[in-house]
Amino acid sequence: MATPDRVSYWNKTRGLMFLMLGLWIFFGYVIHFFVSALNNIVILGFPLGFYMAAQGSLIAFVVMLFWFARKQNSIDEEHGVAED
Amino acid sequence: MANTATGGGGTDFVANLGRIYGIYTGGFIAFIILMAILNAMGVPNVVIGYMFVGFTILIYAVIGILSRTMQVGEYYVAGRRVPAIYNGMATGADWMSGASFVGMAGTLYLLGYDGLAFVLGWTGGYVLVAILVAPYLRKFGAYTVPDFLSARYGGNMARLIGVIVLFSCSFTYVVAQVYATGIISARFLGLDFNVAVYVGLAGILVCSMLGGMRAVTWTQVAQYIVLIIAYLIPAIWMSTVKTGVPIPQLMYGQALQGITALEAAQNITNGHIVPFVHGGYNALNYFLLILCLMVGTASLPHVLMRYFTTPSVREARVSVAWSLLFIFILYFTAPAYAAFAKWTMLDLVASGLTPENIADKASWMFRWAAADNALVQICGKAAIDAAAVAAACGEAGVTNIGFANINLNADMIVLATPEMAGMPYVISGLVAAGGLAAALSTADGLLLAIANALSHDIYYKMIDQDAPTARRLVVSRVLLVLVAIAAAYVASTKPADILAMVSWAFSLAAAGLFPALVLGVWWKRTNSAGAIAGMIAGFGVCIYYLLATRYGAVGFVEMWSGLSTATAEQLAKFEELKAAYAAAPADGQAAAWTALDKFAQSIASWGGVKNLSAAAFGLPVGFIVMYVVSLMTKEPSQEMQDFIEEIRIPRGKTVMEEKTA
């Protein structure tokens, strides 16, 4: 089962997973640690720290997921394990 | 785009989905316009309310009946041919509960920035669903989440624990949905609450009983359309009235500025946008709550099972992205909704609100207070009429009613906003239909998750493996009805505790299921001894923390004084109350105990963590126990390792082929 191609497939898949997990930690937590500092920046009436929790991070999550679906699919195809 | 990938699905229905739901959406908008015209012509409000609720439930019932099925694959996983985008919409409706629709904006209104923990927690979890869990469960080809646990961890023990966790996190949740349908029907149809609960029950059953997952899927898509329209219209309305631009999500920056200015004028210190100051959410609890909600999202069986219905692994991944997009549309509107509602209220107060003029300026408050005393309180008393307000404020020495004197319940804010902002009644009817759609769709998903676990996992897999298909489906339906009736009965007793427990579901699911699901795919070395020990330990710690801090708070405070963050003053007060209880005469004991217990609940914790975030303890315990016990026991067999290899790649047939004839 564990052919070299399979190993490389899983390494790439795992790499993508950790990248996504890193982005998730950044947008889900890290950026909100700085909410008070970010709130000093105001755009269109939105304090930036508040905006990130109310909209910014959410937009990032949505974009990340569509990008992930495409990226993972291209990894699948590259290794010949995509569905027909 | 998603449709092209579904080739194999093949039926006319799937090919024509876009047209069917397009016509449906157009029809619903035409119906709203018709109602608006009738409303303007003087048709009474109560009739408008009945038409909204009746018409939408009728549609769901028709879809439910048309989707009836006697095939196992259709009943459990909708034949696995739901295109990604429609599964995304169905998941959106499945996910957004009555509480999201009715309560979320209210919570944000009350908690300001700190309420955003819910917005973040209930969206970010989908990242985990997509990258860690859903595609692999889809490849495995399960009918239920415990199905996967059993196959991966060899046997019925893991399956049974899975069913127990599933039941404990889903049942309280479904009770709350039935309760919400009862509240909405009672308020807008004027039915008695006890009758309204059973009307809601009928609405739920008609969608799910005949067609299982297939019927629930297509009604959930219809329900999503209703609920999102109903949520957006009042927000757009307020934005247009207040700022002249009909894009609330973009324009509420102005509302935030308005709120901050008015708050300063009113001398309110903990402003709307100030982080970590509302409702006991310090930074620690804010971030832990986000974590528990996110991980809980990625473990709740009624959400995960939606991804069993897509035609392929590829579509399952895309479908998670669509789900989040559809959920995002509501969740990024909620803070705008809250901000406009708060701005409206602050404006009202700033215009000089007194007990004398409140009848002219805000008579809507009296109607809500009359419906339930707890919903609107002014100067600490229910604001039933101007006289009651005058009496309460006179007593409190308040002549000008300030923002702080008005106490609105979180659950009424969305439902009352149309009146608050002076919209016609037709909008209220629409909001009621939306709230109902949200509660019904979530209830359907949950009921199906519970009934499927009982019928497929317990009855078919554990009791009678030779059961013929027809009998399995009959058993499924009987169990569905029984669980539904039990939920409606519990809801009709108005159990305050159950409603508070709903948010526990996330922590329970996170601690009980997440480590087993994730490690099952990502760490081959996980074996059944490790998984079973980890699930029991994680779930056990979590449920202990939840129950002990709420029902055994006094004992908890004494036992864990070393881990408590209570101040010396609080501990002194605790000792004082305890002494008072010990010294109380027989007739005063109950009252003394209540006071002691209530205070103990407010300080019972490990390290100051709110019990809402119990998975903060259960989750790491689950992971560590699973890791350590797995390493201490034998590694999984070669077949099991091959099995894991197999679910990791999308190509090939589903691993578990069910007999579906």
What is the rounded average pLDDT of the residues B454-481? Answer: 91
pLDDT at B10: 43
The pLDDT of B30-37, averaged and rounded, is: 96
Residue B55 pLDDT > 60, yes or no?
A: yes
Strands A46-47 and B406-408: unpaired
DSSP three-state, residue B408: strand
Q: Which of A38, A39, A44, A83 to mutate to test the interface with B (most CBs of B within 10 A)?
A: A83
Question: What pLDDT, on a 0 to 100 scale, did the predictor assign at position B398?
Answer: 86
Is residue B273, in this structure, part of any structural domain at all? Answer: yes
Give the pLDDT of residue B458.
Answer: 92
Q: What angle do CA B334, B340, B346 make, to 5 degrees?
A: 135
Residue A81 pLDDT > 80: yes
B250 touches chain A (CB under 8 A): yes
What's the whole-model pTM score? Answer: 0.93
For residues B365 and B625, the model is more confident at B625
Question: Which residues numbered 258-317 in B keep a CB inside 8 Å of some CB on A?
Answer: 273, 275, 286-287, 290-291, 294, 312-314, 317
Contact status of A48 with chain B (Cβ, < 8 Å): no
Last residue of a domain, one of B470, B499, B528: B499
Contact B120/A47, CB-based, under 8 Å? Answer: no
The verdict on a CB contact (< 8 Å) between B131 and A21 is yes
Query: And the tokens for B576?
Result: 């004082």
Cβ-defined contact of B328 to A62 (cutoff 8 Å): yes
B329 contacts in chain A (CB < 8 Å): none
Instruction: State the average pLDDT for chain B.
Output: 90
Q: Which of A27-36, A67-76, B25-34, B345-354 has the lowest mean pLDDT?
A: B345-354
Q: Looking at chain B, which residue has its C-alpha nearest residue A19?
A: B131
pLDDT band at B420 (very low <50, low <70, confident <90, very high): confident
> Is B321 among the domain residues?
yes
Say how far apart CA B602 and CA B549 lie, in whole Å. Answer: 9
Structure tokens at B38: 């009738």
Quick one: pLDDT band at residue B368, thresholds 50, 70, 90?
confident
Asked if B331 has any chain A CB less than 8 Å from its own CB, the reply is yes
Q: Are residues B485 and B370 in the same domain?
A: no
What pLDDT sits at residue B5? 34
Nearest alpha carbon to residue B206 among B36, B56, B34: B56
CATH number at residue B303: 1.20.1730.10
Q: What is the pLDDT of residue A2?
A: 56
pLDDT at position B426 over 60: yes
Q: Is B346 within the bounds of a domain?
A: no
Contacts of B313 in chain A (CB under 8 A): 83
Q: Is A2 on the interface with B (CB under 8 A)?
A: yes
Residue A29 to residue B273, Cβ atoms within 8 A: no
CB contact under 8 Å between A83 and B651, yes or no, is: yes
> Nearest chain A Cα to B85, which residue?
A66
Closest by CA to B293, choosing from B99, B448, B149, B426, is B99
Tens of pLDDT along A23-34? 999 999 999 999
Q: What is the mean pLDDT of residues B109-125?
A: 94
Taking alpha carbons only, the member of B157, B208, B154, B158 closest to residue B178 is: B208
Among A1, A13, A50, the residue with its CB nearest the CB of B113 is: A50
- Interface confidence, given as ipTM, is 0.96
- Please tell me if residue A17 touches chain B, with a CB cutoff of 8 Å: yes
- Confirm whether B241 is domain-assigned: yes
Interface test with B, best of A19, A61, A73, A81 (most B CBs within 10 A): A61
Check CB contact under 8 Å for A49 and B275. Answer: yes
The better pLDDT of the pair B628, B396 is held by: B628
Decide if B436 is inside a domain.
Answer: yes
CB within 8 Å: B254 and A20: no
- The answer to the question of residue B336 being in a domain is yes
Same domain, B415 and B387: yes
Mean pLDDT of B62-77: 90
Across the interface, do B127 and A65 touch by the CB < 8 Å criterion? Answer: yes
Compare CB distances from B290 to A28, A59, A68 and report the shortest one's residue. A28
Structure confidence at residue B56 as a pLDDT band (50, 70, 90): very high
pLDDT digits (tens, 9 = 90+) for B259-306: 999 999 888 888 899 999 887 789 999 999 999 999 999 999 999 999
Query: Do B442 and B558 have their domain in common?
Result: no
Q: For position B6, what pLDDT does the model report? A: 33
CB contact under 8 A, B314 and A82: yes
**Angle CA(B297)–CA(B456)–CA(B219) in degrees, nearest 5?**
55
Determine, yes or no, domain membership for B347: no
Q: Report, as an integer, the average pLDDT of B419-443.
A: 91
Say yes or no: B408 and B272 in one domain. no
Contact A28 B131 (CB under 8 A): no
What whole-number distance in Å separates Cα of residue B279 and Cα of residue B293?
18
Q: How many domains does chain B have?
A: 3
Question: Smallest Cβ distance to A54: which of B116, B324, B649?
Answer: B116
Task: Output the DSSP codes for B432-501.
Answer: HHHHHHHHHHHHHHHHHHHHHIIIIIIIIIII-TT--HHHHHHHHHHHHHHHHHHHHHHHHT--HHHHHH
Last residue of a domain, one of B499, B533, B558: B499
pLDDT digits (tens, 9 = 90+) for B192-249: 888 888 888 888 888 888 889 999 999 999 999 999 999 999 999 999 998 999 999 9
The beta-carbon neighbor of B314 closest among A28, A53, A83 is: A83
pLDDT on residue B194: 85
User: Range of B69's domain?
Assistant: 3-341+423-499
**B658: confidence class by pLDDT, cuts 50, 70, 90:** low
Q: Could you say which residues from 24 to 43 on chain A have a Cβ atom under 8 Å away from some Cβ of chain B?
A: 24, 27-29, 32, 35-36, 39, 43
Please judge whether A16 and B131 are an interchain contact, meaning their C-beta atoms are less than 8 angstroms apart: yes
Q: How far is A20 from chain B (nearest CA, A)?
A: 7
Cβ contact (<8 Å) for B123 and A2?
no
Rounded to an integer, the average pLDDT of B95-113 is: 89
Distance from CA of B411 to the nearest CA of A (A): 20
Quickly state the pLDDT bin for B634 (edges 50, 70, 90). very high
pLDDT tens-place string over residues B568-590: 999 999 999 999 999 998 888 89
Which of B420, B446, B464 terminates a domain? The answer is B420
Q: Give residue B570's pLDDT.
A: 92
pLDDT recorded at residue B637: 94
Contact by Cβ (8 Å): B407, B345? no
Q: How confident is the model at residue B657 (pLDDT cuts 50, 70, 90)?
A: low
User: Alpha-carbon distance B400 to B350, whole Å?
Assistant: 10
Radius of gyration of the CA atoms of chain A, in A: 18
- The b/e string for B261-270 (b: 16+ C-beta within 10 A; e otherwise) is ebbeeeebee
Q: DSSP 3-state assignment of A1?
A: coil
Tokens of B343: 């701005």
Q: Do A55 and B249 touch (CB under 8 A)?
A: yes
Cβ contact, residue pair B328, A54, below 8 Å: no
**In a shared domain, residues B435 and B387:** no
- Show residues of chain A in contact with B250, CB under 8 Å: 44
User: Looking at beta carbons, which residues of chain A come within 8 Å of B249?
Assistant: 55
Contact B127/A72, CB-based, under 8 Å? Answer: no
In sign, the C-alpha dihedral spanning B495, B497, B500, B503 is negative
Same domain, B24 and B130: yes
- Over residues B476-487, the mean pLDDT reads 92
- Residues in A closer than 8 angstroms to B648, CB to CB, are 10, 13
Residue B174 half-sphere exposure, CB side, CA atoms within 13 Å?
30
Domain boundaries, chain A: 4-78
CA of A13 vs chain B CAs: smallest distance (Å): 9
User: Taking CA atoms, what residue in B is nearest to A83?
Assistant: B651
How crowded is residue B576: how many other Cβ atoms within 10 Å of its Cβ? 12
Q: What percent of chain B has pLDDT over 90?
A: 62
Residue of chain A whose Cα is closest to the Cα of B287: A29
Amino acid at B417: T
Query: If you search the block for the tokens 């399956």, which residue do you land on?
Result: B159
CB contact under 8 A, A58 and B332: yes
Distances (CA, A) of B576 to B361, B555, B592, B593, B600: 47, 15, 11, 12, 12
Report the range out of B313-327, B448-462, B481-495, B599-613 with the highest average pLDDT: B313-327
- Asked whether the predicted pLDDT for residue B100 surpasses 90, the reply is no
Instruction: Tell me the shortest Cα–Cα distance from A8 to chain B, in angstroms.
Output: 12
Is the model's pLDDT at B4 over the cut of 70?
Answer: no
What pLDDT sits at residue B33?
96
B105 touches A: beta carbon within 8 Å:
no
Establish if B404 belongs to a structural domain: yes
Query: What pLDDT score was predicted for residue B661?
Result: 40
Residue B645 to residue A1, Cβ atoms within 8 A: yes
Instruction: Give the pLDDT score at A70.
Output: 97
CB of B254 less than 8 A from some CB of A:
yes
Measured in angstroms, the CA of B316 and the nearest CA of chain A are apart by 9
Query: Three-state SS for B634?
Result: coil
Do B361 and B461 belong together in one domain?
no
Rg of the Cα atoms in chain B = 26
Contact B317 A2 (CB under 8 A): no
From residue B570, alpha-carbon distances to A26, B560, B577, B606 in Å are 37, 15, 11, 15
Do both B206 and B272 map to the same domain?
A: yes
Angle between helices B568-583 and B589-603 (to 10 degrees): 160
